[in-house]
Amino acid sequence: MKKTNITIGAVILIFLLAMMTVSIFYTPYPVTQMNIKERFSPPSPKHFFGTDNFGRDILSRVMSGSQTAFFVGALAVSIGLVFGVLIGALSGYIGGIFDEITMRIMDAMLAFPGILFALMFVAIFGVGIKNTITAIGIMSIPSFARVTRSSYLQHKEFEYVKSAKAKGASPLRIIFFHILPNVTSPIIVSSTLGFARAVLSEAGLSYLGLGVQPPYPSWGRMLNESQVFISIAPWYAIAPGVFITLLVLGFNFLGDGLQDLESLK
Chain positions contacting other proteins, by CB under 8 A: 158-160, 162-170, 173, 177-178, 181-182
Cβ nearer to other proteins, comparing 37 with 265? 265
Residue 256 amino acid letter: D
The CB-of-237 to other proteins minimum distance in angstroms stands at: 48
Cβ nearer to other proteins, comparing 181 with 215? 181
**Can you tell me the distance from the alpha carbon of 96 to that of 245, in angstroms, rounded to the nearest whole number?**
42
**Can you tell me the distance from the alpha carbon of 222 to that of 235, in angstroms, rounded to the nearest whole number?**
11
Among the listed residues 23, 140, 105, the one whose alpha carbon sits nearest the alpha carbon of residue 70: 23
The CB-of-81 to other proteins minimum distance in angstroms stands at: 19
Cβ nearer to other proteins, comparing 156 with 197? 156
The CB-of-78 to other proteins minimum distance in angstroms stands at: 22
The CB-of-74 to other proteins minimum distance in angstroms stands at: 25
Residue 188: exposure state from Cβ atoms within 10 A (0-12, 13-18, ≥19): middle
Separation of CA 119 from chain center: 17
Cβ nearer to other proteins, comparing 52 with 99? 99
Cβ nearer to other proteins, comparing 63 with 183? 183
The CB-of-153 to other proteins minimum distance in angstroms stands at: 15
The CB-of-98 to other proteins minimum distance in angstroms stands at: 18
Cβ nearer to other proteins, comparing 16 with 103? 103
Cβ nearer to other proteins, comparing 135 with 258? 258
The CB-of-171 to other proteins minimum distance in angstroms stands at: 12
Asked whether the beta carbons of 199 and 247 are under 8 A apart, the reply is yes
